[in-house]
Amino acid sequence: MRFTVPIIIIAFCIIFKMIVNRNPKSDPDAEFLELERKANLTPRKDISHLPYIKVPVDSLPLDLPTDKEEVLERQDIIRSMADKTVLNLTGRTNTDLKLEYGAPNINILSAADNNYTRLVQAIAYLASDYIDSGHKEEAIQLLEYGISIGTDSKKNYLTLASLYKEQGQESRIRDLIVSAESVDSLLKDSIIASLQELL
């Protein structure tokens, strides 16, 4: 009988060790480093089929006269995107991009994504400039274009929603909510909640 307790303790330790070994705790840092290692070894893949954005500068209101330097600068940023590679890669990390399209393409893809970010920011702020100077229809045109290319700029959504509400077109805010639901961004829930408050 005196050996029963030690045997039970030893058996318990063996079973506990088996359970721990069966479900080892993963090390997030080690997992990331391994994923990044694989990503850096991924060969170049064809990226010619990606949904590049061609900015229709001729059909956007970019020639409104102004004496404000920042307005001219935003107009120029949007115009300059007509000659650049623009790609919406919102919600995807560099590791994701390297794994999917190959490490040698990361500089091209990062530059295209940076161009996209500059584009949608310039659209949102230029639209606000236009509103301030009384050009609301032109602002709506810009903001709607921003939505059409998948922006996750909350400023873009809320400014456009406010203009719709001002014009008595609340039903169009529901369309904006539908558009926001398809955005792959951490801001999605915040955008949707803010739009719903405007209804």
- State pLDDT tens for residues 49-86: 999 999 999 999 999 999 899 999 999 999 999 999 99
- Taking the C-alpha atoms of residue 142 and residue 139, their distance in angstroms, rounded to an integer, is 5
Residue 165, Cβ density class (10 Å: 0-12 exposed, 13-18 middle, ≥19 buried): middle
pTM of the model: 0.80
For the chain, give the mean pLDDT: 88
DSSP code at position 67: -
pLDDT tens digits along 184-196: 888 999 999 999 9
Query: Whose CA is closest to 79, among 118, 105, 108?
Result: 118
The predicted pLDDT at position 34 comes to 83
The predicted pLDDT at position 3 comes to 47
- Does any domain span residue 12? no
The residue segments making up the domain with residue 113 are 36-198
- Does any domain span residue 9? no
The predicted pLDDT at position 26 comes to 57
* Other CB atoms within 10 Å distance of the CB of residue 47: 17
Work out the percent of the chain whose per-residue pLDDT is above 90.
Answer: 71
- Taking the C-alpha atoms of residue 90 and residue 117, their distance in angstroms, rounded to an integer, is 9
Token representation of residue 98: 């390297």
Number of domains in the chain: 1
- Does any domain span residue 19? no
CA pseudo-torsion sign 154, 184, 27, 24: positive
- Does any domain span residue 2? no
- Does any domain span residue 18? no
User: Which residue type sits at 31?
Assistant: E
- Does any domain span residue 128? yes
- Does any domain span residue 30? no
- Does any domain span residue 49? yes
- Taking the C-alpha atoms of residue 83 and residue 91, their distance in angstroms, rounded to an integer, is 24
Query: Whose CA is closest to 57, among 159, 115, 142, 153?
Result: 142
- Taking the C-alpha atoms of residue 156 and residue 176, their distance in angstroms, rounded to an integer, is 10
pLDDT tens digits along 80-136: 999 999 999 988 899 999 999 999 999 999 999 999 999 999 999 999 999 999 999
